[in-house]
């Protein structure tokens, strides 16, 4: 787990960071739909799991820009940028109606990531433990699929004053609209290190990377 400490006096969002860590601690949440028509067809043709294919694309997007890899060390009041962030995915158990968190290591190589994510999912199916361990996984972001609903809006609340900088991303079931498959995605970012532009940019990059992925 590598990271570098950001000089807050030279940080390009210095004024915004100060305001949203001292005066008004809050987050930015946004929900939009992305076109996954091509990705759904790709997964079906290749016999891969759509969920893991999208998880790879999401992880690639969030690793592509430093703004999405920021962290905060409260013990030393340090703003940091991780070299890499990894997805915490979740396995749902039908028998208990509970979830097991799964820590999957990100790899820019699709084949490596896919195989490791699939292995992690299969291992998690054998347990019913919650096993959430953020203290030992500081550079992991939350990536949660909500397959039961193609929703229109979702908001994640965190305690006031809690400077949690890791992205929180949820997505729901895709649905057909005008011959295309559109999937709702929700992104939560801390306002100290992201604004509306950076939140909206996640969706632009997701669409861009999704379209590029199916053309590989």
Number of domains in the chain: 1
Half-sphere exposure of 121 (CA within 13 A, CB side): 17
Q: What is the pLDDT of residues 153-176, one digit of tens each?
A: 999 888 766 789 999 999 999 999
Q: What is the mean pLDDT of the chain?
A: 95
First to last CA, the chain: 30
Q: Which domain holds residue 124?
A: 3-213
pLDDT at 46 over 70: yes
Q: What is the pLDDT of residues 98-152, one digit of tens each?
A: 999 999 999 999 999 999 999 999 999 999 999 888 888 999 999 999 999 999 9
Cα distances (angstroms) measured from residue 106 to each of 134, 167, 205: 16, 15, 17
What CATH number is given to the structural domain containing 69? 3.30.559.10
The rounded Cα 120 to chain-centroid distance in angstroms is: 17
Q: Round to whole Å and give the CA distance between 46 and 16.
A: 45
According to DSSP, residue 138 is labeled: T
Q: Round to whole Å and give the CA distance between 189 and 176.
A: 28
Average pLDDT, integer, range 10-17: 97
Strand segments, DSSP code E, in the chain are 3-5, 27-35, 70-73, 78-82, 86-93, 98-103, 140-146, 168-172, 175-177, 180-190
Phi/psi-derived region of residue 208, left when phi > 0, alpha when psi is between -120 and 50, beta in every other case: alpha
């Amino acid at each position: 787990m590598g990271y570098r400490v950001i000089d807050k006096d030279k940080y390009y969002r210095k004024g915004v960071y100060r305001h949203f860590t001292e005066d008004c601690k809050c987050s930015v949440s946004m929900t939009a739909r992305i076109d996954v028509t091509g990705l759904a067809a790709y997964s079906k043709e290749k016999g891969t799991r759509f969920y893991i294919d999208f998880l790879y694309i999401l992880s690639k997007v969030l690793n592509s820009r430093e703004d999405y890899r920021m962290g905060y060390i409260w013990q030393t009041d340090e703003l940091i940028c991780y070299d890499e962030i990894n997805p915490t995915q979740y396995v749902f158990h039908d028998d208990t109606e509970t979830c097991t968190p799964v820590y999957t290591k990100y790899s820019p190589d699709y084949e490596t990531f896919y195989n490791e994510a699939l292995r992690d999912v299969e291992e998690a199916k054998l347990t019913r433990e919650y096993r959430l361990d953020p203290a030992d996984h500081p550079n992991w972001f939350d990536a949660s699929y909500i397959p039961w609903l193609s929703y229109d809006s979702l908001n994640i609340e965190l305690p006031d004053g809690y400077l949690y900088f890791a992205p929180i991303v949820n997505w729901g079931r895709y649905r057909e609209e005008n011959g295309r498959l559109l999937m709702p995605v929700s992104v939560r970012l801390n306002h100290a290190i992201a604004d509306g532009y950076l939140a909206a940019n996640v969706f632009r990059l997701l669409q861009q990377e999704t379209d590029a992925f199916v053309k590989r």
